[in-house]
Every structure is written in C-alpha cells, then in structure tokens.
Amino acid sequence: MGNFTFTETGINGVYIIDVKAYGDERGCFMETYREQDFALAGLGCRFVQDNQSSSVKGVLRGLHFQKTHPQAKLVRAISGEVFDVAVDLRKGSKTYGKWVGALLSGENRRQLYIPRGFAHGFQVLSDSAVFAYKCDDIYHPEDEGGIIWNDPDIGVAWPLAGEIILSQRDRLHPRLAQCKTEF
C-alpha cells in the first residue's frame, strides 16, 4: 500500500486516506485509487460510478444518503478546499448519529472513504472547488434521502460562518429524529 496511507477516524469504517504524489518541475502524478491496495486495507468495495461537482464558496451540499440503495463513497477535492462530513446512520452502531469531518483539498490530496449507511455532505471553503467521488452503487434519484445540515442533535461544526448557500431540496430535509433509515 505504498501510495496510500489509511487512517481510521473515530467512526468505524470511515477512513482518511493520504495519497502519495510524485512531483518535479513539470507538476505531479498520483494514483487516487487502486482496488488491490484498498482491499488490503479492508475497504473491499467495487466502485461503479464516478461523480463530479463544482461549487463556489459557501455552498453546502448535504447531508445526503440513498434510502434502500446505500452507497459507499471515496471522496476528494480535485481543486479548492472543502470540509467533508460523514454521519453514521447505521442502526445499532455505537456511533449512530455521530459525525466525522475532514478538510479535503487539491493541495493536500486527502480523500475520505465513507462506507454504506452514512449521510454525506460538504461545505466549500475556498472561492471555488471541484469535488469528485466514486460510488459502489449507481444513483437512484427516487431513493434519495437527506438530513438537515444544521440538525442540533448531530451538531456538525461547519467551519465557514456567514451565508450558507443551499439548494431548495437541502433546505427541506428533516432532522435525523424524523428520518426512517434502514441501515
């Protein structure tokens, strides 16, 4: 696992992944995923869909999950800087309703692995950011669920104060206590 360092977080199954980059005067090269290395680290899912978004400073996307088609995700910022969050929705988990966050940027090349059974969201901290993620199941729009970003029972400490830019859909998500999750 020479190009990846897998660091456990305070929530079982969620890992921060540091990626080794090789650079010279021309720029740099890095692997962002290698199935064998991830499997050796115990992260043995097969990714079937890649997604990418671009956002401006203050945008907060989330907290999203798929209700009956949960997705494991490997997320990263290609450019810019985001604060990325995973919330444990696994019933019976000792960390149910708890969150973990990581600063991801094009500069630090850090990734976050989020297993199935989590809500996910991120806030853009830089002027703009390009965000990419791999999923181990395809997106089913009819299966989408969400939790309000500022649920006081979860208490995510979003770092950017001031105006938060949300989609209309994200403004209407319920609190975790009102969600019916089956994980």
Query: What would the pLDDT profile of 83-128 be if each residue is shown by its tens digit?
Result: 999 999 999 999 999 999 999 999 999 999 999 999 999 999 999 9
Taking the model in full, what pTM does it have?
A: 0.94
| List 15, 33, 113, 133, catalytic entry | 133
Q: Which two tokens stand for residue 155?
A: 């208490």
What percent of the chain clears pLDDT 90, i.e. is strictly above it? 91
Go through the domains of the chain in sequence order and give each one's CATH number. Answer: 4-178 (2.60.120.10)
Quickly state the pLDDT bin for 44 (edges 50, 70, 90). confident
| List 64, 113, 120, 173, catalytic entry | 64
Quickly state the pLDDT bin for 1 (edges 50, 70, 90). low
pLDDT at 163 (0 to 100): 84
- Tell me, yes or no, if 64 is annotated catalytic: yes
In whole angstroms, what is the distance from residue 167 CA to residue 77 CA?
A: 20
* Helix, strand, coil percentages, rounded to 5, for the chain: 10, 45, 50
Of 170, 175, 136, 134, the C-alpha closest to 154 is 175
- Tell me, yes or no, if 133 is annotated catalytic: yes
